[in-house]
Amino acid sequence: TPLEHPPYSFDLSSCDFHMFGPPKEALGGERFNNDAAVEYYVRNRLFERPSTFFDEGVKKLLARWRKCISVEGN
């Protein structure tokens, strides 16, 4: 059964979604001297992921949705 997704839900905050966690961890402690250094890092290092990375993240959403439903959003 398809689940309706609200425009925003504290239970399913995008900031802890699979795609954002690893880059956030990778940036921990990084310092950049200028915008060009940030751009280089993002383009060439930050999003180097195996081809299965995004597939795995989407599959993890189902478990997150089920957990949210089982606790009735609390």
At 45, which amino acid appears?
R
For the CA atoms of 24, 30, 31, 32, the dihedral, rounded to the nearest 10 degrees, stands at -70
pLDDT at 52 over 80: yes
pLDDT at 10 over 60: no
pLDDT, residue 32, reads 93
